[in-house]
Amino acid sequence: MKKLLFICAVAMAVVCQSCGLTAHKPSDGNLDGSNNDNQETPSGKPADELVLLFTNDLHSQIEPLDEASTYNAGKGGVARIKVLVDSVRAAEKAVILADAGDFVQGTYYFTCLGGDVEMKVQQEIGYDIRTVGNHEFDKKIAGLDRMFSLNDVVTVSSNYDFSATPLSDKVQRTAMIEVAGLKIGFVGFGARLEGLVDPNSCKGVKYSYPWEDADRLAAELKDEGADLVIALSHLGYNAKSDAKYYDKGLAMNTENIDFIIGGHSHTFLTKEVYVSNLAGAEVPIVQTGSRGIYLGYMKIDLKKRGKERFSYRLIPVDSRLDSRVDPVFASVLKGYSAELEKTMDEVLGHCPATLRKGTPQGLLGNWAADAMVEVCSETFGVIPDMAICNNGGLRAELPAGDVTRKRIYSVFPFDNKLSLLEMKGSAIMEMFNDISKGSGEPVSAGVRLTIKNGQTESVTIGGKEIVPGKTYMVCTLDFLSNSGRYSLGNYVSRRDSDEFVYELLCSHVKKLTAAGRKVEARQDDRIVVLN
């Protein structure tokens, strides 16, 4: 751990030395790489068209995805995104680049460097505006405050009140961006923090339901002269629900929001989804998925009305752009990672077959929960009765082949500690009842849970029924116990590890290797869902 901290410190120094980097002239050309002269419009006349470029849920995917990934292998990468953004800016008069939240968290860049790289990337690519996703809180309020101090990108959040935090002067409730004679208003909405964000990470932030003030704020922007009002939403898209806390419901219950750029649900919307608002107008909802696999592109013709004014597509971010990558920008990115990679590329063990998440159980979750039992024994000197984590905390698959530190950090990127909880059997039953309402969560091999119609049909631990008054030892993540997820805040006593889970699991894999064992798991009947 001390070695890693030293490497992080060296990499941070590289980041700081790069702070003075100036923006580079955009490269000319169409999106396919061919040349195109910038088409000028008469000076002083507002543009007739607006191009919105956008990302959501980038999750610190600075580099392209792992070539061994099952899905989207080798795609993404911020240097490629910059190629596309520069090309559009060279070809269009009015361009705004926006992000709909969760720009950070998901790779070792954020885990080790705390958002410095991501904030420099936003500055260099030239983001105009962003909203706050739930993972922006992962380094707590102090970390978020430091991140937002690293660039001058406008931040808008309309339902998170930061007035009682150090970010009060860094986050606006609404924003207006003027470009090529156009005035574009922005509102921003984030998901409910309770149960989603560790309460220790968002102290002082007051949440309000997004629909309470959305229309009023949008109307105020139009009163101030906004030609359009755009919502940057980190609420999530749900095709099956019109609930007001999702994008569709937000559009249906307002009349002054013209366009919604979504995030949070990691939905790849290859076509815009139109929803009729309170005034009967069609509001398009778009989203790029996650990890920077695509750059969102929407051209709006302000001379037209209705669906005809919108032209939307997802632009692939892939290797066809590599020949046009800005070498200076690429070298700066390499400078950030050069020292870290010496540690991150360390081979810890071997995985014979790819481990992926799944429900009601998956190989990755099974391995993680079983590993937590062993790590708990090593860390606390106690063999727990069971372990439980959450699928949402497993952020990548573990590919077959060498298990490097980088890959462990990709699966477990959060600054979570391991918690050993002493819980009564009655609280354990509440926990299983909560799990049964969903689609299951990773639990250790000693558990046998049968779910029917969203309810606990039967459950045993170590082959025995749970005794309400008996005390059990449960190994979990501090995030789950802090947030009270699955009733895991209902404990009698608690001990937390000194080290983060990603470091504990790196050490665990090395111990497995020393003992002649591999990183592997099997499907069993620990969770069964009956039809």
Domain end marker among 337, 365, 388: 337
**Shared domain check, 331 and 182:** yes
Instruction: State residue 93's pLDDT score.
Output: 94
Longest dimension (CA), the chain: 79
**Shared domain check, 226 and 113:** yes
CA–chain centroid gap for 224, Å, is 33
Question: Residue type at 49?
Answer: E
Containing structural domain, residue 505: 348-530
* Main-chain dihedrals φ then ψ at residue 57, nearest 5 degrees: 55, 50
**Shared domain check, 308 and 454:** no
Rounded Cα distance between 315 and 296, Å, is 6
Instruction: State residue 389's pLDDT score.
Output: 97
Reported pTM: 0.89
**The pairing of beta strand 174-179 with beta strand 182-190:** antiparallel
**Shared domain check, 411 and 332:** no
Instruction: State residue 8's pLDDT score.
Output: 54
Question: Residue type at 445?
Answer: A
Is residue 19 one of the residues assigned to a domain? Answer: yes
Rounded Cα distance between 380 and 373, Å, is 11
Is residue 262 one of the residues assigned to a domain? Answer: yes
| Closest CA relative to residue 326, chosen from 10, 529, 24 | 24
Reduced to 3 states (helix: H, G, I; strand: E, B; else coil), residue 55 is: strand
**Shared domain check, 216 and 85:** yes
Is residue 29 one of the residues assigned to a domain? Answer: no
Rounded Cα distance between 199 and 34, Å, is 50
CA-derived radius of gyration, the chain: 24
Scored b (16 or more CB within 10 A) or e, 282-320 reads: bbbbbbbbbbbbbbbbbbbeeeeeeeebbebbbbbbbee
Domain end marker among 281, 303, 337: 337
- Contact between 207 and 192 (Cβ < 8 Å): yes
**Shared domain check, 62 and 140:** yes
Instruction: State residue 19's pLDDT score.
Output: 42
Is residue 31 one of the residues assigned to a domain? Answer: no
**Shared domain check, 328 and 269:** yes
Reduced to 3 states (helix: H, G, I; strand: E, B; else coil), residue 8 is: helix
Helix (H) or strand (E) holding 327: helix 327-344
Rounded Cα distance between 144 and 198, Å, is 14
Instruction: State residue 177's pLDDT score.
Output: 98
Rounded Cα distance between 494 and 217, Å, is 44
Q: Please give the chain's pLDDT, 531 residues, in tens.
A: 444 544 454 454 444 444 444 333 333 334 444 333 334 444 568 899 999 999 999 999 999 999 989 999 999 999 999 999 999 999 999 999 999 999 999 999 999 999 999 999 999 999 999 999 999 999 999 999 999 999 999 999 999 999 999 999 999 999 999 999 999 999 999 999 998 999 999 999 999 999 999 999 999 999 999 999 999 999 999 999 999 999 999 999 999 999 999 999 999 999 999 999 999 999 999 999 999 999 999 999 999 999 999 999 999 999 999 999 999 999 999 988 887 888 899 999 999 999 999 999 999 999 999 999 999 999 999 999 999 999 999 999 999 999 999 999 999 999 999 999 999 999 999 999 999 998 899 999 999 999 999 999 999 999 999 999 999 999 999 999 999 889 999 999 999 999 999 999 999 999 999 999 999 999 999 999 997
**Shared domain check, 132 and 106:** yes
The tally of domains found in the chain comes to 2
Residue 278 vs residues 186, 227, 251, 310, 328: alpha-carbon distances, Å = 19, 19, 8, 20, 49
**Shared domain check, 278 and 376:** no
Instruction: State residue 42's pLDDT score.
Output: 47
Rounded Cα distance between 511 and 173, Å, is 50
Instruction: State residue 43's pLDDT score.
Output: 55
Judged on CB neighbours under 10 Å (0-12, 13-18, 19+), 35 is exposed
| Closest CA relative to residue 59, chosen from 99, 1, 107 | 107
Scored b (16 or more CB within 10 A) or e, 418-451 reads: bbbbbbbbebbbbbbbebbeeebbbbbbbbbbbb
**Shared domain check, 330 and 410:** no
Task: Taking each helix axis as running N to C, give the angle between helix 327-344 and helix 116-125, from 0 to 180 degrees, rounded to the nearest 10.
Answer: 170
Domain end marker among 302, 337, 372: 337
Is residue 45 one of the residues assigned to a domain? Answer: no
Strand partners, 83: none
Instruction: State residue 222's pLDDT score.
Output: 98
Reduced to 3 states (helix: H, G, I; strand: E, B; else coil), residue 99 is: strand
Instruction: State residue 46's pLDDT score.
Output: 87
Rounded Cα distance between 316 and 81, Å, is 9
**The pairing of beta strand 129-130 with beta strand 95-99:** parallel
Which domain CATH number covers 436? 3.90.780.10
| Closest CA relative to residue 326, chosen from 147, 83, 509 | 83
**Shared domain check, 181 and 328:** yes
| Closest CA relative to residue 118, chosen from 139, 97, 104 | 104
**Shared domain check, 256 and 189:** yes
The strands making up 464-465's β-sheet, listed across from edge to edge, are 464-465, 455-461, 447-452, 527-530
Omega cis (within 30) before 360: yes
- Contact between 220 and 181 (Cβ < 8 Å): no
